Amino acid sequence: AGDLETVSVGTIAINRYAAGWLIPDMARFHRGGTIRYSLDPDGVSGAAFLILPTDTPGYFEVLAPRVRSGVDTGLPAEGIEVYRVDQTPAACGQSSGCSGLSRRTSQIPASSGRSSTAHVYPVGATITVRGVTLLVESRLGNTFTLAVSGASVTDRFLDDSGNPHAASIQFIADRGISVGCNPPLVTFFCPS
């Protein structure tokens, strides 16, 4: 936690999730399209964190609000923090991947020091991660609104391949009209 003035990292979302402080319903997954997300550090006024999955299992980015409250009152910067998580077998040296302390977590952009706040984006900031553009649009209280556009994975939905309506499904999903049928993962569209 970042409750001491000398601790600047805070409690990042993936660690709060691993500790059980955040539950799966507090996550959102952006697979593609242009969508606005509300993120609240405690998941009260929106999701607590946003995940940009990849086509490689165990490799993804996590975005979450970083605010001076609770156990993190000593943080030097507030905004949306971005971390890359790599818990693939190659990164962990284990055949089945890893989690917990053996998980590889790095700030985006990468930083050489733990006191850096370059990975914390204030309102108005834009960042591009693997072709996905993220704009921190606004903040109301501790809730941040993000505009996210682009695809983080090759296939937006796992169940529309070969469907004659795949192009239409992609069109309406890209515009946020219908983003999937299995929240919060939104990996399926359920075209039938």
Residue 65 vs residue 101, higher pLDDT: 65
How much is the pLDDT for 141? 92
pLDDT in tens, 170-188: 788 777 787 788 776 677 8
Contact 11, 20 (CB under 8 A): no
Q: What is the mean pLDDT of the chain?
A: 82
Q: In this predicted structure, what is the pLDDT of residue 99?
A: 66
| Residues whose CB falls within 8 Å of the CB of residue 89, separated by 6 or more in sequence, listed in order | 58, 95, 96, 97, 98
Please give the C-alpha separations between residue 135 and each of 21, 58, 155, 175, in angstroms, as whole numbers.
Answer: 26, 25, 23, 16
pLDDT band at 11 (very low <50, low <70, confident <90, very high): confident
Which pLDDT score, from 0 to 100, does residue 149 have?
Answer: 92
Question: CA-CA distance, 160 to 150, in Å (whole number)?
Answer: 18
Query: Does residue 115 or residue 35 have the better pLDDT?
Result: 35
Model pTM score: 0.79
